[in-house]
Amino acid sequence: MNRIFSVSDVNSYIKQLISNDGLLSGISVKGEISNFKHHYTGHMYFTIKDESSILKCVMFKTQANQLKFIPQNGNKVIVSGYISVFERDGQYQLYASDIQPDGLGALHLAFEQLKNKLQEEGLFDASKKKKLPLLPKSIGVVTSSTGAVIRDIINVTYRRHSKMKLVLYPVAVQGVQAAGQIAAAIKKLNELGQVDVIIVARGGGSLEELWAFNEEVVARSVYASKIPVISAVGHETDYTICDFVSDVRAPTPSAAAELAVPDVEVLNYKLQNYNFRMKSALIKKLNLCENQLQKIKTRPVFRQPYDRINQYRLKLDNEIKHLFRNNEVLIKDKKGQFALLAGKLDALSPLKIMERGYSVVRSSEGNIINRLEQVNPGDMLEISFNDGKANCNVISTSPGN
């Protein structure tokens, strides 16, 4: 016999059944949000669905306030909580304690994991970053061939250097093909070797849209590039792994072009400035040397180079004059002395004496007779006069004068 129950009994029974089930007491369910309603009471009512079913959910105010994001219809989420029955309506639903973004959460995790792995391997090391060439011969651009990005890059480039060469390597910048194409483009540009710098660029977008630039294959290709890579992906606040690995990160594609392309006007000005400075410096140096030369030229040594010699000449002349004068004096002096002596000699000359009447008496042997005792009567004597001699015979002698 079938027992007959009341509605409340049945609902109550079902509630108990479900409440006692371990699995349903703490469960996480993933699905897409729809029919989302944020009640004025603060409670959230929504359903989550997959391809074939829906599940009603409620999140009460206390837990709802803890959410870090506002759930919206279409969000793929993971709802955690317990299944129970709202007896009055005979409705089972998921009483949510937490809602996590699904796909996005997974992506964030993947991002963090790859970032850490590559960082540890050293792909982000500052020491590995290459310097950008000041004046590249040509620039490679890896981006979509349509859209604002390539247009901006072209505009900024030719504003700065009207003669720059750009080589566009078109790639998909989102979707499953993108990462492979981007990596291949960088590799190919390296092989061709005709560009000096590569810009990898993509406009703003969500994490999913930028995802290709977080893929490992792109990171490795950028790291392996011998040509410096500038990464300009997403908005200023977006950071992708491509940004971390590249040699330079630019906040926007336009900024990337500014980094890659020098402002030719500025460079030309710099050159003019250098020319001017060199000329000025050389002129200054020449003037300095000229002044030095002038100063030296006006020194007495140069104005009258023979002055010194002439001084010596004068001195020499003086000395010679002195020499002669002294000589004359000396000669005079000696002449005088001589004359004196000659005079004396003359005075003492026997001839002078003889002039006075005295004669030199000699014996016949020739001896000088100056004493009476030397003479005897009958001796022959020779008497010398100034102008001759006389032979004499002594007749007699007598002493005394």
Residue 300: count of CB within 10 angstroms of its CB: 9
Tell me which amino acid residue 399 is.
P
Q: Does 169 bind another protein (CB under 8 A)?
A: yes
Q: Which is nearer to another protein, 267 or 383 (CB)?
A: 267
Q: Does 297 bind another protein (CB under 8 A)?
A: no
CB of 261 to another protein, least distance (A): 11
CB of 122 to another protein, least distance (A): 27
Residue 64: count of CB within 10 angstroms of its CB: 19
Angle (CA) 361-362-367 rounded to 5° is 135
Q: Which is nearer to another protein, 104 or 264 (CB)?
A: 264
CB of 127 to another protein, least distance (A): 20
Tell me which amino acid residue 376 is.
N
Cβ-Cβ contacts under 8 Å for 60 (sequence gap 6 or more): 42, 43, 44, 95
Q: Does 281 bind another protein (CB under 8 A)?
A: yes
Partners of 31 in the β-ladder:
77
Q: Are 143 and 153 in contact (CB under 8 A)?
A: yes
Q: Are 79 and 34 in contact (CB under 8 A)?
A: no
CB of 142 to another protein, least distance (A): 10
Residue 48: count of CB within 10 angstroms of its CB: 26
Q: What is the DSSP letter of 367?
A: P
Read off the tokens for 361: 């008496």
User: Which of 14, 167, 353, 360 forms a contact with another protein (CB under 8 A)?
Assistant: 167
Q: Does 274 bind another protein (CB under 8 A)?
A: yes
Q: Does 128 bind another protein (CB under 8 A)?
A: no
Q: What is the DSSP letter of 368?
A: B
Q: Are 383 and 392 in contact (CB under 8 A)?
A: yes
User: Which of 59, 77, 81, 161 forms a contact with another protein (CB under 8 A)?
Assistant: 161
Q: Which is nearer to another protein, 161 or 202 (CB)?
A: 161
User: Which of 37, 188, 297, 344 forms a contact with another protein (CB under 8 A)?
Assistant: 188
User: Which of 109, 288, 320, 372 forms a contact with another protein (CB under 8 A)?
Assistant: 288
Q: Which is nearer to another protein, 17 or 281 (CB)?
A: 281
DSSP 234-293: SSTT---HHHHHSSEE-SSHHHHHHHHS--HHHHHHHHHHHHHHHHHHHHHHHHHHHHHH
CB of 303 to another protein, least distance (A): 24
CB of 158 to another protein, least distance (A): 7
Q: Are 7 and 90 in contact (CB under 8 A)?
A: yes
Q: Are 214 and 242 in contact (CB under 8 A)?
A: yes
User: Which of 17, 109, 282, 368 forms a contact with another protein (CB under 8 A)?
Assistant: 282
How many residues make contact with another protein (CB under 8 A)?
Answer: 38
CB of 221 to another protein, least distance (A): 16
Stretch that binds another protein, among 38-46, 159-167, 251-259, 314-322 (CB under 8 A): 159-167
Binding characters for another protein, 74-113, by CB under 8 A (x = yes): ----------------------------------------
Binding characters for another protein, 337-366, by CB under 8 A (x = yes): ------------------------------
CB of 165 to another protein, least distance (A): 5
Q: Does 256 bind another protein (CB under 8 A)?
A: no
CB of 62 to another protein, least distance (A): 56
For 102-217, where are the E strands, in sequence order?
Answer: 138-143, 165-170, 197-202
* Four-residue CA torsion sign, 229, 235, 236, 237: negative
User: Which of 14, 55, 154, 354 forms a contact with another protein (CB under 8 A)?
Assistant: 154
Cβ-Cβ contacts under 8 Å for 236 (sequence gap 6 or more): 251, 252
Q: Does 166 bind another protein (CB under 8 A)?
A: yes
CB of 246 to another protein, least distance (A): 20
Q: Would you call 315 helix, strand, or coil by DSSP?
A: helix
Q: What is the edge-to-edge ordering of all strands in the sheet holding 388-393?
A: 360-363, 380-385, 388-393
What residues line the site for another protein (CB under 8 A)? 133-135, 137, 145, 150-151, 154, 158, 161-170, 188, 192, 264, 267-268, 270-271, 274-275, 277-279, 281-282, 284-286, 288-289
